[in-house]
Every structure is written in C-alpha cells, then in structure tokens.
Amino acid sequence: MSSERGPQSGPQIPFGSDSVEINLVDLVRYIYNHRVVVIIITLAFPALAGLWSFFVRRPVFKSHAIINVNLSSKSQTISMARFSYWFEEQEMLNKIYLTEQFFNSKKYREALLDEVEGVTNKCPEPDLCKAYKDAIGAYLKAADLKERDDRASYLVGFLEIFSDANKYSMTVTGQTSDPYFSLALTDLAAITLVELNHQVLLDRTFKVKKFLEAQTEDTRLDLEKLELKLVDLQRERKILAAPEVQAKLNNVFIDQRTKLQELRRELAAAELFLKEMNFEVSRFREDMASEKGASQLYLSQAQRRFDLLKYQLAVKGLARDPASEGANVSANSELDGYRKVLRESKDQLIALDPWKHLQEMEQLIAETKQKRSLLASEIKASESSLENSQGDYAAIPETFRQVSELKRNIQLTTELYALLKTRLAETQIQEAGRSNDLIIMSFAERARRPAGMGMLRRFVMASAGGFSMSVLFLFLVYILIPTVRNKNDLENMGVKVVGEYELYRSNKVGLLTDKTKPIILAERSNSADANAVRYTRFRIEQDMGLKKDSMEHQGKLVAMCSVNTGEGKTFAAANMAYAFALADFKTLLFDGDFEKSDLKHYFSDLDQPEDLLIVNEDDRVNFTRSFVRRNLHLIETNHFTANAVDYMESVVFHNFLTALREEYDIIIIDSPPMKGHISPILLSRESDAVIFVANQRATIRDDIIFSLQKLRETFKGPIFGILNFIYEDISGKRKHLKSRTAKKAA
C-alpha cells in the first residue's frame, strides 16, 4: 500500500484564489526541519538585547525619598486628594522652583561646594556630601547662564514625583546612570520640595480662606434679599399660603363655570318644552274647533302626550344634579307619579274634560315661560360674575409661579451657604495645621543594582521572544509560499502520482546543507517505507504494462526528473531500480548526470566483471557497467569530455540506448535537475515514461508547472509522480546498510 503520511485534508486559510491546508503534525515537522533558523533567531534576540544594554542604553540606578503628610488631630478632615490634585497641577512649576532653589541658590552652593572635612551639621556623612558636591559640580561646569539653565532642566527631567492619596505620602525618585548622582539629586529634590511647598501652601491657604469668607458673606446677603422679595410678593397679591391660592382658583375656574353650564342646560330644556307644548295646544285648539264632538280616543292620546312631555321635562330637570336632597326627592316623586299615570293609561281610554285639559296646558306654558325668564336672568348674572372673577384673579397663576421660583432659589442658596460655611471651617483648620504637614520620612539610599529587569530574566525573555518570532516566521513561510502540499497538487498539474514515501536527510553533513541520505528502503523487508516503495513499483509496472513472461525483448526506459537538486530524484531512482530487481525484472540503473555521479554512494562493493564491459564507440565518452546484485546493473560515466547536449542528440547515444533496451526489461535513467539543464528534455525524448520527483512543502508549485510545460513541448508520453516527505534521521539509529555481509550473501 502507499504510505499515507502526507496531509490530505485539514483547516484551510484562504490566500488569494487558492487555499492553504494546515496540518499540525506536518507544521511541527516543517519547523523541526528548519531548526537551524529557529536556533539562530532565538539566540540573536538575547545577543541584541545584551549589546543594547551594554553599549547603547546604559543601566539606570534609581533612588527614592518619601515625603509624608503629617496631619494633626485638628485637621483630620483635610482630604489628601485635594493636595495631590494641586500638586499634579503644579508639577512643572515645582520643577522650575527646584532648579532655582537648588542649582542657583547661594545657600546650597556654600553648603555643598566647599570642602567638607569630617562630620558637619550641613552634611553628617562625608560620602553623601561628596556625592552632593559632585552633583553640583557637574552642573556648574557649564560656561554661560543659558547653558546652565538648559543643563538644569535636563537634570530635573530625571526626576519622577508620585503622590499617593491613600497613603498620604509622596515619593520622589531620581534616576541616572550614576548611583551617587541619583542619590544626591533625589535627596536635594525632596528637601527643596518640602521647603518650597510649606510657604506656597500657606500662602495658598490664606488666599482660599479670604475668598471663601467673601463668598459666604455675599451668599448670606443674597439669601436675605430673596426672602424679603417673597414676603413682598405675598403681601401685594394677598396670597398667604398655597391652599388659599388653590381654593380661589377652584372657585373661579371650576365652581362658577359648572353652575353657568347647568343654568344654560335648564334654559335649553325649558325652551324645548315650550316649543312642543305650543305645538300641542295649537293642534288641540284646531281639533276642538273642527270637531265639536272630539273622539274619546283622541282625547286619551292627547292626555298621554301631555303627560309624556311633563315626564321628559322632569327627567331633564333631575339631570341637573339638584343642589339639595329635598329637591332631589321631590323630583323623584314627581317622576313616579308620571310613570304611574302613563302605565295605567297604556291599554285603556282616559275620560277627561277637553276644556279643562286645555286650561292646564296653558297654565303649564305660563309657568314654563316664567321659569325661562328667571333662568335667563340667572345666566346673565352668572356670566357677569364669572367675568369679574376672572379679571380679579387673572394674575394668580403667574404669581404662584413666581412664588415657587423664589422658594426654589431660597433653597439652593441655603445649601450653597451651608457648603461655603463648611469649606471655610475646613480651610481655617487647614491653615492652623499646615506648617507641620510636610515631613521627609526617609531619605534616599544608594542603589546597589540597576533598576529594571535582571540580566538572567532579560536573557530568558529575549530568548522566548526570539523563539516565538522564529516560529511565527516559519509559520508565515509555511502558509504563504506556494509549495506542493500533497499529491492532489501534482495531479491537478497533470501528473499521475504513483508513490509517496519518506525521504531521509543525512545526519553526517553540515547543518546548512541539503544532502539526501543514501539508503535503500527495500532492504528492510517488512517496513512501511519498503512497502511504500514496492507499491510504487507495482503502480509503475501496471501503468506501463511491464510483463516478465513477454517474448518481446524491447525494454522500457524511464527517466527520473526533478526541478532542483536535492529533491530525492537520485534517491527515488536507486530505490526503484532495487525494487524492480527484487521482482525479477532485469534492471539497469543509468546515471544520466554526466557532471556528477551520486548513484555509487547507494551501493558498496560494486563489481565489474568482464562480461559487463561496454565497448565505447566514442573516445570522448567512457561508460562503466557494474554489478550491484542479481538482476541489477549500474552504468556510470568514467570519462566524459564531449558536450552532453550534442552527445544526447547524436545517433551514437540513440543506438546505445536501443542496444540496452534489448538487453534489459526496464532502464531507469537518473537525469540532472530541470533548472539549468537541457539534458532531462533530451532524455525524455528517448523515454517511454517520465517520473517527476517532488518534495512535500519544499518544491515550489510554479517551478513544477514551468518544468512540466517544457517537458510537454517534446514528450507526449505518460508523466508519473513521486511525492517525498522529508524527515530528519533524528535518532541516528537508521543505518546506511545494516549488514554488507548479508547483502553479499543475498
């Protein structure tokens, strides 16, 4: 069976119009095969880091001094965050003050530049005094004042000042390449900051206190003015409280309007009743005049219509929502009487006196007219009253809004006044204890070692970074360079892949070489590699139609080609020839690379019996034929001074190959690489088939396509392919030949 060690499928990364298959096992093998690149890049990073540390960026020494804020018992409410915020705002200003106070101060020059002998009050430690002196001397070496100021700004730039509100402290850090200079700079900066900020903070506190006092007094006066304005507004508009304002507004805009609407509804009902009653009376008079003896039925209907009109009028009156409970009861009793009369007169005739009935109707009309006149008078009076009330209380909503606004302003001003009083009290307490706030808790100490990462850790981190970069680089090369990934790539180019097996590199050559290890896989009787070679032999035998029992003595000629050197073409030729010999095919292995001969490295103890001597017709060419094993011979070039291209196109070479075809069943020619040689194309013209050898993840696809195009211009026969998988002989246990004695015995 064919060895299926190559990646056939896997996750794909799109790249252009193609895709890249990724197989983790294959990727690891690819990285291991290029381990020299990994080693070089991994070691280059720490080397560059070391050069940078020692020659470009000198080591930095840091010294720290701590300034603590000592709060007294009376000032525990002071927030350190306020001080820290102010200090951060004044950072550049403090650095300028530091320059003036320290480098240009006569007091510090006298204390630090004079010769110090022994222990003095100014400097209790001679070593520390010497460090201070060296620091000042380095600054004062400047020639003119401008350069001195520039150098002062440069030195101050080495300072780092941090403030921690939670710990009530500040940390001053000086960093230079000299540990003594960083020590002196840090201590002097701490002393200067404490002395400077004492006076600055006291002055600032005094200004803040004056400002707060003025703001507090102004706020108190504004509050009094607002309160007086509110009282004047209430007195002018006669508004004493919010409930009174609400009661007046309800009387004007709700009660009076509701009463007016009820009166208008009663007037409309009375007019409608008069209209209908006048119509009934007129009709009744006409009927009485035309028919002196009116029928009883008609009179009964007239009585019912009359009662129905009175019932409707009573219902409309009841809908007015009477003001008193007595009126409500009277209206309900009247309705009950009308309902009873109508219910009793529904199915029977009513006997009545027509003139009496007419008189009652006229009397009711007169009463309704009188009621209408009263309602009209009441409506007119209500409208006049409502108009007067609206005129009197039109300003109530605006006044109420002004009152609410004044109350809101009073509340805000009161809160502001309370905050200002609290802030003023805090400032007064702060002023009382400010003189003892800043204290230097610890002076700087000389740094024993440079700041930052140690050399060992830096070397480890740089090595890890170099290793990561090398792996990333190889991964990008792995996915970006269009190499042959598997046999599908070759078959898509028109090459029929007949074999896949491992190609071993030699572990006895240099690291940067690309030498194939001369090993015959078929000598391992039952190994997977040997079976892969045998399966390749079987495929070639079937596709070319090789038969051992054929009476024809015309052998088949196969040319082995590859794009570049070192891709396993010679390895494949030697193993294929050995495999055909094991299958009882009389095989000839022809070394067609006349410039160099590598096939002899695959076989040892070659014999040259007399019956294998070759008579060379051309004096410029001398071939030697050797016995390798049973059914396997090897032809090499012993002497070759002719032009290879001219010789391969000659009739002599053609006749020589024809004679060899009659003697052997199969001839395998190891040709030079396609790049830079014409010989493979000429040899393919004499061949029955071409076997193209490529390396997985090593051979460029475009090179194969170009080489195949050149072959197809002259060769029309079948082109087979062998795909090699490159693995290093890591363990060193794979021997070239296990036993030369066993080979001779075979």
Which position has the higher pLDDT, 312 or 503?
Answer: 503
What's the pLDDT tens digit per position in 173-224?
A: 777 666 766 776 677 667 666 665 555 555 656 666 677 777 777 777 877 7
| pLDDT, the chain, mean | 69
Among residues 54, 60, 59, the alpha carbon closest in space to that of 174 is found at 60
User: What is the average pLDDT across 2-26?
Assistant: 48
592 neighbors 671 (Cβ within 8 angstroms)? yes
Rg (CA), the chain: 60
Which position has the higher pLDDT, 708 or 225?
Answer: 708
Q: Which amino acid is at 465?
A: G
pLDDT of residue 426: 73
pLDDT level of residue 621 (50, 70, 90 thresholds) = confident
358 neighbors 302 (Cβ within 8 angstroms)? no
pLDDT of residue 192: 64
User: What is the average pLDDT across 471-494?
Assistant: 81
Phi, psi angles (nearest 5°) of residue 258? -65, -40
pLDDT of residue 724: 82
Question: Which position has the token pair 């509100």?
Answer: 165
| Distance between CA atoms of residues 117 and 125, nearest Å | 10
pLDDT level of residue 633 (50, 70, 90 thresholds) = very high
- What is the per-residue DSSP string for 219-249? HHHHHHHHHHHHHHHHHHHT---HHHHHHHH
Res. 739: pLDDT tops 90: no
The pair of structure tokens assigned to 177 is: 């390449």
pLDDT of residue 92: 47
Buried/exposed 454-490: b ≥16 CB within 10 Å, e otherwise:
eeeebbeebbeebbeebbeebeeebeeeebbbbbebb
pLDDT level of residue 590 (50, 70, 90 thresholds) = very high
Q: What percent of the chain has pLDDT over 70?
A: 53
Res. 732: pLDDT tops 80: no
Res. 164: pLDDT tops 60: no
Which position has the higher pLDDT, 493 or 552?
Answer: 493
pLDDT level of residue 509 (50, 70, 90 thresholds) = very low
Neighbours of 137 (CB within 10 A): 11
Q: Is the pTM of this model over 0.85?
A: no
pLDDT of residue 632: 92
What's the pLDDT tens digit per position in 88-145?
A: 555 544 554 554 555 455 544 554 444 333 334 444 455 555 555 565 555 555 545 5
Res. 46: pLDDT tops 60: yes
Among residues 520, 552, 540, the alpha carbon closest in space to that of 668 is found at 540
| Distance between CA atoms of residues 403 and 562, nearest Å | 103
pLDDT level of residue 645 (50, 70, 90 thresholds) = confident
pLDDT level of residue 560 (50, 70, 90 thresholds) = very high
pLDDT of residue 251: 63
pLDDT of residue 343: 54
pLDDT level of residue 718 (50, 70, 90 thresholds) = very high
pLDDT of residue 149: 56
User: What is the average pLDDT across 75-89?
Assistant: 45
Residue 160 host element (H or E)? strand 159-164
The pair of structure tokens assigned to 270 is: 């009375």
10 neighbors 23 (Cβ within 8 angstroms)? yes
What's the pLDDT tens digit per position in 315-365?
A: 555 555 544 445 455 555 655 655 555 555 544 444 456 667 677 777 777
Res. 599: pLDDT tops 70: yes
545: left (phi over 0), alpha (psi -120 to 50) or beta: left
pLDDT of residue 558: 94
pLDDT level of residue 434 (50, 70, 90 thresholds) = low
Question: Domain 487-544+554-745 sits in which CATH superfamily?
Answer: P-loop containing nucleotide triphosphate hydrolases (3.40.50.300)
Which position has the higher pLDDT, 546 or 504?
Answer: 546
pLDDT level of residue 15 (50, 70, 90 thresholds) = very low
Neighbours of 177 (CB within 10 A): 13
198 neighbors 69 (Cβ within 8 angstroms)? no
pLDDT of residue 16: 38
Q: What percent of the chain has pLDDT over 90?
A: 5
pLDDT of residue 4: 39
Residue 416 host element (H or E)? helix 396-433
Question: Which position has the token pair 């630090």?
Answer: 112
pLDDT level of residue 707 (50, 70, 90 thresholds) = confident
What's the pLDDT tens digit per position in 358-391?
A: 777 777 778 878 888 888 888 888 777 777 766 6
Res. 49: pLDDT tops 70: yes
What's the pLDDT tens digit per position in 236-287?
A: 666 655 566 666 666 666 677 777 778 788 888 778 777 777 777 777 777 6
| Distance between CA atoms of residues 260 and 106, nearest Å | 98
pLDDT level of residue 79 (50, 70, 90 thresholds) = very low
Domain spans, the chain: 487-544+554-745
pLDDT of residue 416: 77
Q: Which amino acid is at 299?
A: L
Phi, psi angles (nearest 5°) of residue 560? -95, 125
Number of residues written out for the chain: 746
